Amino acid sequence: MSDKPWYQEAVFFELNIRAYRDSNGDGIGDFRGAIDKLDYIRSLGVDCIWVQPMYPSPLKDDGYDVADYTGILPDFGTLDDFRAFLDAAHARGLRVVTDLVMNHCSEEHAWFQAARQDRHSPYRDYFVWSDTPEKYSGARIIFLDVEPSNWTYDEVAGQYFWHRFYASQPDLNYENPAVHEEMLNVLRFWLDMGIDGFRADAVPYLYEREGTNSENLPETHEFLKKVRRLVDEEYPGRVIIAEANQWPEDLLPYFGDGDEFHVCFHFPIMPRLFMALKSGDKTPIIDILARTPPIPPGAQWMTFLRNHDELTLEMVTPEERQWMWEQYAPDPRMRLNMGIRRRLTPLLDNDKRRWLALNALFLSLPGTPILYYGDEIGMGENIWLDDRHGVRTPMQWSAATNAGFSEAEKTYQPVIDDAEYSYRHLNVAAQETDANSYLNWTRYLVAARQAQPALRAGTLAWVETGHAAVLAFRRAEGDNRVLCVFNLSDTARPSGIIPATTQTDLLSRDKRSFPAGEEIHLSPYECLWLLEN
């Protein structure tokens, strides 16, 4: 057993309850359905499930518009169903973290309704109001495609209110201590129930201040430290994870001196993994990790390839963004805001060599990885659905009606049924029996990582290969050392690596070994995890 905090070595799984399994035939996934699939999630080898927003909501932002912080969306079940899900996960050794949307709520939240209707309501000051839309003009607009401004005029209130995301999501006013108390009580409510922590959504934007870009402000960090104190004092061992789409140097303060978040998402590395694979050049990966400062002991980065949002291109230069769009989003419909609304496998043209290389890279670089539901079987996307719904379609369990997701006539979104990615042939049941399927490769890769302390949370050192297309690094933890080697290009190459002792490749199922003294040659997109003895 390792003495590291659990979240430093874990593999996470991102779960959208709506998309997973419908137990009552209404076409929408629910907690009872998800309980039936926990053994499957466990079989992937992951340690912790991140449950996306499950709160009552008008669903204008798929639940990130919360109408009641301590309830459960009736479509998903009841609080008892949630408790049953939590207990069933814990019984299987799976932890559960949930999304905590602190920055904003839904316009339908009782606080906002009271605030807009009565200037003198104590809730008025829960939100940020102005008589003009000119304030805080230094703040960028995030949902560029649909929102012309961060201010929207509310007829009933007779003032403008502030929102960093959709106009249906008024920002909470963190200048008001009552908002702090409300949010801390929301944390306590769920932590008392036994959840293992939170993924704190959109944390850079809690405060706004004139003359700044209203992101990452010191007062925001002060509040977040207060959240951490609550966790340390009242719920030790639970985790808080920051979703902050920022440059590495701006992320560092979210760890504080080990007194803010335990874990921060590392957004900038994600597009660079795709860039390196497409260009056959490792430089973007090495550069961004060189730009990533050391973090306090006990802290960790969180990494991902894809998630429920567009593949964000906020953390690249305008030229790189244009290049990424050209390479990975040839159809304009694939582009959304500053990103790409596609799933992992179609981005890689359903090419298993590239899929393996990218997953092996992602699972061996530092950080706690998150797998996104459906990507483990190579699910496709539907770019014709609105917003980001095309990457949130029903899980494909089998070739049965509605992919075995639901017995309803109509599902919340159509299941994927195009020639290449149709549930009729691309589904869990079909992949279970195929040793070479995406599903079984996911299990194999995760298990291979989990077995090596060096890969879980060891140190990283680059290894020179002499080729831009050949990336190599060593992960080490005590005596456990794994040399990871990747050919990022589509041509065979010498790796520049000559093992000093015979080495075994953990990624080949027949445990291929490489003799000492002979240079290793790599086939196109080949990757190796060499256990060094």
Between CA 463 and CA 88 the distance in angstroms is: 44
Decide whether 376 or 387 has the Cβ nearer to ligand BGC: 387
Q: Which of 182, 181, 198, 183 is nearest to 235 (CA)?
A: 198
Backbone Cα Rg of the chain = 23
Q: How far is the CB of 450 from ligand BGC (least distance, A)?
A: 27
Decide whether 32 or 308 has the Cβ nearer to ligand BGC: 308
Q: Which of 365, 374, 315 is nearest to 346 (CA)?
A: 374
Q: How far is the CB of 449 from ligand BGC (least distance, A)?
A: 25
Alpha helices in 204-282 (DSSP H): 218-234, 248-251, 269-279
Decide whether 146 or 178 has the Cβ nearer to ligand BGC: 146
Identified catalytic residue from 9, 75, 99, 243 = 243
- Using CB under 6 A as the binding criterion, the count of chain residues that bind ligand BGC stands at 9
- Residue choice 9, 14, 30, 61 for contact with ligand BGC (CB under 6 A): 61
Decide whether 66 or 295 has the Cβ nearer to ligand BGC: 66
Decide whether 309 or 505 has the Cβ nearer to ligand BGC: 309
Dihedral sign, Cα of residue 198, residue 202, residue 203, residue 208: negative
Q: How far is the CB of 341 from ligand BGC (least distance, A)?
A: 12
Between CA 67 and CA 448 the distance in angstroms is: 42
Which positions from 89 through 128 interact with ligand BGC, judged by CB under 6 A? 101
Helix axes 283-290, 269-279, angle to 10 degrees: 160
Q: What percent helix, strand, coil does the chain show, rounded to 5?
A: 35, 15, 50
**If 0-12 CB within 10 Å is exposed, 13-18 middle and 19+ buried, where does residue 331 land?**
exposed
Decide whether 244 or 426 has the Cβ nearer to ligand BGC: 244
Q: How far is the CB of 88 from ligand BGC (least distance, A)?
A: 26
Q: How far is the CB of 202 from ligand BGC (least distance, A)?
A: 4
Which positions from 186 through 205 interact with ligand BGC, judged by CB under 6 A? 201-202
Reading across the β-sheet that carries 513-514, which strands appear in turn?
Answer: 459-462, 470-477, 480-487, 527-532, 503-505, 513-514
Alpha helices in 298-387 (DSSP H): 318-328, 344-347, 352-364
Decide whether 309 or 376 has the Cβ nearer to ligand BGC: 309
To the query of whether residue 243 is one of the catalytic residues in this protein, the response is yes
- Residue choice 12, 64, 82, 525 for contact with ligand BGC (CB under 6 A): 64
Q: Which residues contact 151 (CB under 8 A, 6 or more apart)?
A: 130, 133, 135, 160, 161, 162, 163
Q: How far is the CB of 61 from ligand BGC (least distance, A)?
A: 5
Binding status of residue 165 toward ligand BGC by CB under 6 A: yes
- Residue choice 22, 107, 260, 309 for contact with ligand BGC (CB under 6 A): 309
To the query of whether residue 201 is one of the catalytic residues in this protein, the response is yes
* CB contact at 8 A, 172 and 103: yes
Q: Which residues contact 330 (CB under 8 A, 6 or more apart)?
A: none
Q: How far is the CB of 212 from ligand BGC (least distance, A)?
A: 20
Which residue has the closest beta carbon to ligand BGC? Answer: 64
Q: Which of 60, 9, 32 is nearest to 262 (CA)?
A: 9
Between CA 362 and CA 366 the distance in angstroms is: 8
Can you tell me which residue has the tokens 């927003």?
A: 53
Binding status of residue 310 toward ligand BGC by CB under 6 A: no
What separation in angstroms does the CA of 511 have from each of 224, 456, 474, 507? 47, 20, 19, 7
Binding status of residue 30 toward ligand BGC by CB under 6 A: no
Q: How far is the CB of 337 from ligand BGC (least distance, A)?
A: 10
Between CA 456 and CA 477 the distance in angstroms is: 9
Decide whether 30 or 243 has the Cβ nearer to ligand BGC: 243
- Residue choice 243, 375, 376, 505 for contact with ligand BGC (CB under 6 A): 243
Tokens of 446: 């995760």
Identified catalytic residue from 47, 65, 81, 201 = 201
Decide whether 355 or 412 has the Cβ nearer to ligand BGC: 412
Q: How far is the CB of 441 from ligand BGC (least distance, A)?
A: 27
Q: Which residues contact 444 (CB under 8 A, 6 or more apart)?
A: 509
Interface residues with ligand BGC (CB under 6 A) are 61, 64, 101, 165, 201-202, 243, 308-309
Residues noted as catalytic? 201, 243
